[in-house]
Amino acid sequence: MLIDRLSLVKRLIINADDYGLTPGVNQAIAELHQAGALTSATLMANAQHFAEAAEYAARTPAPGVGCHIVLVDGAPVSEIHDVRSLVANAAQADDSLHRKPGTFLRDLYLGRIRPAEVEREATAQIHKLQQAGVHVTHVDTHKHLHCFPAVLRPVLRAARACGIRAIRNPYEPEWSLQATTGAALLRRLEVKAVGTQRETFLREVARAGLQTTDGALAVLATGSMTAEGLAAILNAMPDGTWELVCHPAYNDAALQQVRTRLTASREVELHALKKVVPMLPGVHRIHYGKL
Q: Is residue 171 part of a domain?
A: yes
Q: Indicate the number of domains in the chain.
A: 1
Per-residue pLDDT of the chain (291 residues), as tens digits, is 344 444 448 999 999 999 999 999 999 999 999 999 999 999 999 999 999 999 988 887 668 999 999 999 889 999 988 999 998 765 444 568 887 888 899 999 999 999 999 999 999 999 999 999 999 999 999 999 999 999 999 999 999 999 999 999 999 999 999 999 888 898 899 999 999 999 999 999 999 999 999 999 999 999 889 999 999 999 999 999 999 999 999 988 888 777 666 667 889 999 999 999 988 888 999 999 998
Q: Quote the CA–CA distance of 80 and 7 in Å, as a whole number.
A: 50
CB 217 within 8 A of CB 244: yes
* Domain span including residue 189: 10-290
Output the pLDDT for position 261. 65
What DSSP character marks residue 172?
P
The reply to whether 111 falls in a domain is: yes
Cα(56)–Cα(164) distance, rounded to whole angstroms?
Answer: 20
* Residue 71 placed within a domain: yes
In a domain, 48, yes or no: yes
Measured from the Cβ of residue 109, the count of other Cβ atoms closer than 10 Å reads 11
All residues at 6 or more sequence positions from 136 whose CB lies less than 8 Å from its CB, including other chains: 65, 66, 67, 126, 129, 130, 162, 164
Give the span between the Cα atoms of 151 and 249, in whole angstroms: 28
Question: Is 45 among the domain residues?
Answer: yes
What distance in Å separates the CA atoms of residue 190 and residue 220, rounded to the nearest whole number?
A: 9
Task: Give residue 137's Cα distance to chain centre.
Answer: 13
Q: Fill in the DSSP letter of residue 47.
A: -
Strand ranges, E, within the chain:
10-19, 40-43, 64-69, 87-89, 94-97, 136-141, 216-217, 240-246, 283-286
pTM for the full model? Answer: 0.92
Identify whether the C-beta of residue 232 lies closer than 8 Å to the C-beta of residue 243.
no
Q: Are 234 and 240 in contact (CB under 8 A)?
A: no
Nearest alpha-carbon partner for 271 in 34, 37, 69? 37
Query: Does the bond joining 281 to the residue before it have cis omega, within 30 degrees of 0?
Result: no
Q: Is 233 domain-assigned? A: yes
Secondary structure (3-state) at 136: strand
Q: Is residue 4 in a domain? A: no
Question: Taking the CA atoms of the chain, what radius of gyration do you get in angstroms?
Answer: 18
Predicted local distance difference test score (pLDDT) of residue 262: 60
Angle at 14 between CA 290 and CA 135, to 5 degrees: 45
Q: What is the CATH number of the domain that holds 106?
A: 3.20.20.370
